[in-house]
Amino acid sequence: MADVVDHLVANDDSEMKVMSMLRVSDAQSVIVDEDALRTGGPDELAGPFAHVVVDEAQELTDAEWQMILLRCPSRSLTIVGDRAQARHGFAESWHDRLERVGLDRVGLASLSINYRTPAEVMAEAEPVIRAALPDANVPVSVRSSGVAVEHAPVGDLGRVLGTWLAEHPEGTACVIAVEPVDLGEVGLGVAGASGRIRSLSPELSKGLEFDLVVLVDPASYGDGVEGAVDRYVAMTRATQRLVVLTSG
Q: Are 178 and 219 in contact (CB under 8 A)?
A: no
Portion of the chain with pLDDT greater than 90, in percent: 63
Whole-number pLDDT of residue 10: 72
**pLDDT tens readout for residues 59-76:** 999 999 999 999 999 999
Over residues 144-174, the pLDDT tens digits come to 999 999 999 999 999 999 999 999 999 999 9
| Single-letter code of the amino acid located at 141 | S
Residue 208 vs residues 121, 180, 234: alpha-carbon distances, Å: 16, 17, 9
- Quick one: pLDDT at residue 111? 87
Q: Give the model confidence (pLDDT) of 180-235 as tens digits.
A: 888 877 766 544 456 799 999 999 999 999 999 999 999 999 999 999 999 999 99
Q: Of 132 and 237, which is predicted with more confidence?
A: 237
Q: How far is CA 75 from CA 52, 188, 210, in A?
A: 9, 52, 36
Give the model's pLDDT for residue 241.
Answer: 96
Mean pLDDT over 107-123 rounds to 93
Residues 87-108 have pLDDT tens digits of 888 888 899 999 999 998 999 9
Angle at the Cα of 127 from the Cα atoms of 122 and 131, rounded to 5 degrees = 145
Q: Could you tell me which residue, 190 or 40, shows the higher pLDDT?
A: 40
pTM: 0.73
Over residues 15-41, the mean pLDDT reads 60
> Closest Cα partner for 55 from 77, 38, 34?
77
Range with the lowest mean pLDDT among 23-37, 133-147, 203-217? Answer: 23-37
216 phi and psi, to 5 degrees? -100, 115
For residue 162, give every residue at least 6 positions away whose Cβ sits within 8 Å of its Cβ, in sequence order, or none.
Answer: 187, 188, 192
Q: Bridge-partner residues for 53, per DSSP?
A: 78
**pLDDT, position 133:** 87
Of 84, 174, 176, whose CA–CA distance to 126 is shortest?
Answer: 84
Q: What angle do CA 22, 26, 27 make, to 5 degrees?
A: 30
* pLDDT value, residue 12: 67
Higher-confidence residue of 11 and 175: namely 175
